Chain A
């Protein structure tokens, strides 16, 4: 009897051990990092700010995911998909037996519900706008619980990539958008303070050993706008990740703790300046003439020492930029573009060709007007202020008198979008989409982000007409190589005409604590935690969670 009881205990103990081994995650703990603003919404359809986008990435389940490292498409909630030859229809074959975080089953009805909501004009979804290919409505058919067919009124280039931004909502869950298919769900939220994300027990993904992902039990996102405080807390060990570090902070971290400073190389974001070419602007006629002269723009571009900007302002963590696409966008970057040199003498020769003359250290146009203009940028951005000051000295070498004005952001936006009462502007472009379709409003002459001369009724110049045509053509093509050829030509025109004078592409810089394993920051957003479901925490992270 005693022997049987002993054997029973041993069996029970072994069973418990096996069960614990299977259910216990290999990491657990709490990952702690910051959002740099308050998320405006938790509804993934309505996201249009960076903080909400980060929450959507961490919580939302998508049909197709762009792998941030390889920049290729990977199956996610959809096991497979097929785009029709005419580029109007996409058929998804969904994974079976999946559930939302609250246990509601996932079916093709949820895809249909999400797409209907996304395309509803009343929703005003920025994500939905990318899917508007032409007049007419988007039709979603659900022939079975695991097949969804989405048909668009007109062909949509790069259609599959757009689904990376579409987090599927549940049509039936009483929790509505808080019921999710991503690795985490929102467990607590204190406005202005923090968001606590908890591991989704129904997340579909498993690792090679069959363990359910994600490994980390909770993610605490503190809302912290002050980047210096964020870095200080990281140094104290209170945070384990920092995304989008600025170059100066990164440089200091690199000196203190080289292992934590992660440089993912050149990023997608660019800093650029442009001249006001709006014909109806209140500028004097001679200034309008300067700014509309391609040789003037090219000459000024040639006289800016971009290498110095990258070295001094960004401590070497930036690359001189000459075109609209960053080299980190592997597929769309046009590597055949000629890289112009910093050449003040060449710039003066170009200006002479355009009727300007350099006299006694001063540049004058053919009518004798001294070349001087004002460059505006937003106040409080130290890097931009430094760049503007360096450009001021560079342009002084060719006799241009550049005045700098820092404006608060609302005043600046008022000037560049409504009154057009400015000469030149220096700002940055944040690129989240690899595909050129994401920049349609920048390149089409009718676009509101066509900053040098927005909202044109018809293209003001032949080269803008050509860009319009190329952008529309590429957007209607399904063949990626043909699209690439057309967009290469757009990049070439932009490099020749210099409507935007690109200055630098900033590196993607982040900080990762030694507690975190598996982190491999990349250039694409969200840089440091793109692989959140496979990140693990070491002993220190678990200790932090227990505390």
Chain B
């Protein structure tokens, strides 16, 4: 097995393990992510608490596991939504051209010009207050998905435009292929590697955006854990020196993001 291939297998294994941990959280830990053991706040790792406890005495291992579920299930969903929007709009713009292309690109540029974080903060403030934490987190990721497509759209548009101007596409058109056949035989197979890459790139991006929102106190609501709000425990570096086990969520996030990057097909493989 070649080096890059072996590395990719390792990355797939790590990601599978992380996903499995999130999915089967109830099996892995018997604590509730919300239970506060108030007699032992900021406790060091022990047999009772594998990664110690946070500042409110909650079991950190349990929170990392449940946080993985929230971040790694919803971030791909948001990435899928953003990639789908970018794929549809970018594909239409690139293939049709003319005023449709200009309108979609203008809309995408306008959306790119909006400061994403402020839009998210404003939208979050507009949500009804009495939504449950689960709905709140779904709304957060849905918003991320709905707002995260413009940069991907430009990539898809450029590829679709190249495709429209390519000889084989002209040849297929000249042969009188129907629109459905063109879409199925020409467009989707040619755009698939790009959409695939955009999807994988978006996942860590959305995980990090949720982390940023949580750092501002606007992401996933307490007591539900996510990688984002777990990273808030790492805000103070000097406190980290005394409690290094609190860096575990950051470590898991870094490893996951690296794994996502390595499982992407290389340019040679795409071709």
A-B contact pairs, 8 of them (CB 8 A): A228-B237, A231-B238, A252-B239, A312-B41, A312-B55, A386-B55, A403-B129, A405-B136
Question: A residues within 8 A CB of B121?
Answer: 408
Closest to B229 in A: A385
CA distance A231 to B55 in the complex (A): 20
A-B pairs with beta carbons under 8 A, tally = 75
From known contacts A379-B218, A389-B222, infer whether A308 and B38 are also in contact, taking CB-CB under 8 Å: yes
Are B129 and A376 in touch, CB under 8 angstroms? yes
Are B217 and A248 in touch, CB under 8 angstroms? no
CA distance A262 to B150 in the complex (A): 53
From known contacts A312-B41, A406-B221, infer whether A389 and B130 are also in contact, taking CB-CB under 8 Å: no
Are B56 and A389 in touch, CB under 8 angstroms? yes
Point out the residue from A228, A379, A390 that lies within 8 Å of B236, measured CB to CB.
Answer: A228
Closest to B121 in A: A408
Point out the residue from B34, B55, B129, B223 that lies within 8 Å of A422, measured CB to CB.
Answer: B129
CB interface residues, A 157-189, toward B, < 8 Å: none
A-side residues, CB < 8 A to B, are: 228, 231-232, 248, 252, 308, 312, 372-374, 376, 378-382, 385-386, 388-390, 392-393, 403-408, 411, 421-423
CA distance A227 to B130 in the complex (A): 33
Question: B residues within 8 A CB of A231?
Answer: 238
Are A379 and B221 in touch, CB under 8 angstroms? no
Question: B residues within 8 A CB of A373?
Answer: 130
CB interface residues, B 209-238, toward A, < 8 Å: 216-218, 221-223, 232, 235-238
Q: Give B57 Cβ to nearest chain A Cβ, in Å.
A: 7
Closest to A235 in B: B238
Are B222 and A388 in touch, CB under 8 angstroms? yes
Question: B residues within 8 A CB of A379?
Answer: 216-218
Point out the residue from A228, A372, A393, A406 that lies within 8 Å of B217, measured CB to CB.
Answer: A406
Closest to A255 in B: B242
Are A390 and B129 in touch, CB under 8 angstroms? no
Question: B residues within 8 A CB of A403?
Answer: 129-133, 221
Q: Give A452 Cβ to nearest chain B Cβ, in Å.
A: 17
Are B222 and A404 in touch, CB under 8 angstroms? yes
Q: How many residues of B contact A (CB 8 A)?
A: 29
CA distance A385 to B222 in the complex (A): 8
Closest to A384 in B: B217
CA distance A442 to B108 in the complex (A): 49
Q: Tell yes or no: B36 within 8 A of A by CB.
A: yes
Question: A residues within 8 A CB of B239?
Answer: 248, 252
B-side residues, CB < 8 A to A, are: 34-36, 38, 41, 55-57, 121, 125, 129-133, 136, 216-218, 221-223, 232, 235-239, 242
Q: Give B34 Cβ to nearest chain A Cβ, in Å.
A: 7
Closest to A404 in B: B222
Point out the residue from A385, A392, A405 that lies within 8 Å of B129, measured CB to CB.
Answer: A405
Q: Give B239 Cβ to nearest chain A Cβ, in Å.
A: 7
Are B57 and A312 in touch, CB under 8 angstroms? yes
Are A248 and B236 in touch, CB under 8 angstroms? yes
Question: B residues within 8 A CB of A312?
Answer: 38, 41, 55-57
Question: A residues within 8 A CB of B56?
Answer: 312, 386, 389-390
Question: A residues within 8 A CB of B232?
Answer: 382
Q: Give A479 Cβ to nearest chain B Cβ, in Å.
A: 47
Task: A252-B238, A389-B222, A403-B221 given; name 4 further pairs at CB < 8 Å.
Answer: A231-B238, A373-B130, A393-B34, A408-B218
Question: B residues within 8 A CB of A232?
Answer: 238
Are A374 and B222 in touch, CB under 8 angstroms? no
Query: 7 shortest A-B CB distances, which residue pairs?
Result: A379-B217, A411-B125, A406-B217, A374-B129, A389-B222, A380-B217, A404-B222
CA distance A407 to B125 in the complex (A): 6
Question: B residues within 8 A CB of A421?
Answer: 129
CA distance A423 to B128 in the complex (A): 12
Closest to B42 in A: A312
Question: A residues within 8 A CB of B237?
Answer: 228
CA distance A249 to B81 in the complex (A): 42
CA distance A177 to B35 in the complex (A): 57
Q: Which of B121, B216, B222, B242 has the largest number of chain A CB atoms within 10 A?
A: B222
Q: Give B265 Cβ to nearest chain A Cβ, in Å.
A: 40
Point out the residue from B136, B218, B222 that lies within 8 Å of A392, measured CB to CB.
Answer: B222
Are A393 and B133 in touch, CB under 8 angstroms? no
Question: B residues within 8 A CB of A406?
Answer: 217-218, 221
Are B216 and A380 in touch, CB under 8 angstroms? yes
Q: Which of B34, B129, B237 has the largest number of chain A CB atoms within 10 A?
A: B129
Closest to A374 in B: B129
Point out the residue from A374, A385, A408 that lies within 8 Å of B125, measured CB to CB.
Answer: A408
From known contacts A312-B56, A403-B130, A423-B129, infer whether A389 and B223 are also in contact, taking CB-CB under 8 Å: yes
Closest to A392 in B: B223
Q: Give A429 Cβ to nearest chain B Cβ, in Å.
A: 20
Q: Give A443 Cβ to nearest chain B Cβ, in Å.
A: 27
Q: Give B125 Cβ to nearest chain A Cβ, in Å.
A: 4
Question: A residues within 8 A CB of B38?
Answer: 308, 312, 390
Q: Give B113 Cβ to nearest chain A Cβ, in Å.
A: 21
Q: Which of A252, A390, A408 has the largest number of chain B CB atoms within 10 A?
A: A408
Q: Give B192 Cβ to nearest chain A Cβ, in Å.
A: 40
Q: Which of A228, A372, A381, A389 has the largest number of chain B CB atoms within 10 A?
A: A389
Question: A residues within 8 A CB of B216?
Answer: 379-380, 408
Question: B residues within 8 A CB of A393?
Answer: 34-36, 223
